[in-house]
């Protein structure tokens, strides 16, 4: 159980249209936190070339966060949501502004949004956001030569 002293606070939870983000949003709301849910729907057809995703996961990634917000509201909690692509540098400011207008100043940030690559053995060196797929520096134990 979370700290009951959370009641009345405002949380922004990224990547909360499914999985861990949705569970965290529900748990916070159950403690009386007003939850502002962010999400990014990814069309399975547009991301088919990424490969490696189970069909069920691809369907979850395509969901809106409104389902989670409605579940929270149906349970008596407070929730709003907004779709945003966090690869856009202006998105975080818009999210915090919108959360403050709809629920109040954000006091809790759950930075859950992520990207998952089903196949890390691809020859590419960066993902679609330009992030390295391999560590820039190998850990010392990986550089050791065994005889």
User: 4-136: what CATH class?
Assistant: alpha beta
Q: Tens of pLDDT along 91-114?
A: 999 999 999 999 999 999 999 887
Give the length of the chain.
Answer: 147
Cβ count within 10 A of residue 76: 9
pLDDT at 98: 95
Cβ count within 10 A of residue 45: 9
Q: Tens of pLDDT along 7-23?
A: 999 999 999 988 899 99
Residue 141: pLDDT band (50, 70, 90) is very low
Evaluate if residue 137 carries a pLDDT over 60: no
The secondary structure of 11-50 as a DSSP string is EEESS-SSHHHHHHHHHHHHTT-EEEEEE----TTTTGGG
Return the domain boundaries, the chain. 4-136
């Amino acid at each position: 159980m979370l700290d009951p002293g959370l009641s009345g606070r405002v949380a922004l939870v990224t990547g909360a249209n499914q999985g861990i983000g949705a569970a965290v949003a529900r748990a916070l709301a159950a403690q009386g936190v007003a939850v502002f849910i962010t999400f990014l729907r990814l069309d399975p057809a547009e991301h088919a070339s990424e490969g490696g995703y189970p069909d069920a996961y691809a369907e979850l990634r395509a969901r809106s966060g409104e389902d989670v917000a409605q579940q929270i509201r149906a349970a008596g909690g407070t929730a709003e949501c907004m779709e945003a692509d966090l690869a856009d540098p202006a998105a975080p400011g818009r999210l915090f502004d919108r959360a403050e207008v709809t629920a109040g100043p954000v006091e809790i940030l759950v930075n859950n949004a992520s990207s998952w690559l089903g196949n890390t053995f691809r020859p590419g060196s960066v993902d679609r956001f330009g992030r390295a797929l391999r560590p820039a520096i190998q850990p010392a134990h990986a550089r050791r030569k065994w005889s």
